[in-house]
Structure 1
Amino acid sequence: MENLVAGYPGRQVLLRNLSFCLPAPAFVAIVGHNGSGKTTLFRVLTGQLPYEGRVQVYGRERRSLPPPAAARLLGYLPQRGPLDFAIPVRELVLMGRYRHHGLFSSYSALDYKLADAALQQVGIAHLTQRSFPELSGGEQQLVWLAQLSLQDALVYLLDEPTQQLDVYYRRRVFELVHGWAAAGRTVLCSTHDLDSLLNLSGFLLNLSEPAPQLRPLSPETVRAARQLLETRA
């Protein structure tokens, strides 16, 4: 990413001259005040916002990536509202395989096997036949993570995945996504939950800094970020 400038029409620019080069694989925690550009950055990377500057993903310019290529490179978990209609957990996770099929193709036995494995990996195989709206907030977020893992992308973008979760599920979510990086994926995760970052390895990007840059994740860099976020609005 080089000299990225991005914002919204008729509103202020939220990201200005942002530059960094991220090695792959890696885990990156993205922090900052509300309105500092965390979600904006993800919308640039997912092709939802125009931008100035250069954004390359595995050597390919983001704005020139056709949708199928972008889907193979990038998986995205946005902030989600409640899901009001009843759907079994297994079927919802299975939707993560959608982009591997044509519009009118059906799911195969392999797809169901992969969905079951994803549920097992996040620790909720016992919820396979439950209706998604009946689950707790933490259980629902694990379902979304299982679905995301089935996209089999090289880069995962997670926007506030632990928002409104209790301590137990915050820890579970961070353990899972940090493990994806250890297994060879690149994970960019925006968060306000600094406490959960203290024992993780990777990088920290604080968009509230005057000139944000990648810093190694450590208790010291997390404390410095907390001090800035608590004293500067």
Structure 2
Amino acid sequence: MSGLGETRAWLEGVGWKVRDETLWIEALTHGSTGAARDYQRLEFLGDRVLGLAVSEWLYQHNGGSEGELAQRLNALVSRAACARVARAIGVPEHLRLGKQARDDGGQDSDNILGDVMEALLGASFLEEGFDATRAVVRAIWQGEMSGGAGRAKHPKSALQEWAAGNRRKPPEYELVERSGPDHASRFTVRVSVHNVGAVEATAASKQDAETAAAKAFMETYG
């Protein structure tokens, strides 16, 4: 396997210190290359490191409720957010992809970029530990943190994002009951997320009942 070459200068420019080149090569290598090791194991580790770093950051600087903190966290560590950060720091130019993956647009794939971003954080953690990795996260995630990700979303949008961020199936809404006269109807809606739970809410319209159910679900499970 060839060395890092120009990639080393880029990594150090981002804020990482490179000691074990093979670790960073692994973090940037997609399975399509046929290499013995790719980024998947480091991605697993980096996902947890990122979650802890951002959770601590939010706890220190956001006075919101548990549900609000969870909503922000899920938005900030989502695959889309990781991919945006990866593009911002120049990851696409340093990816190691097989020909087919490159021809298929892998260099700009949210899935690949998001995974590699987490893998790089995993490599950083192994090289330098949590404190140094947290410092890099706070530097390169500043734009995401100061933006609107996860803020004041409509409850149904927030729940949809929460489910996606936790790799769950999309929420399902079901009208359980409609009662009362036409001029004063009451609608009860159940929202459920597979393998998580279900919550019901009642309101004067089906739409309002869905919104109330989504809000209650986030308060209960978010």
Shared fold (TM-score, shorter chain, > 0.5): no
TM-score, scaled to structure 2: 0.29
Q: 1 or 2, which has the higher strand percentage? A: 1
Q: 1 or 2, which has the higher helix percentage? A: 2
Q: Which has the larger radius of gyration?
A: 2
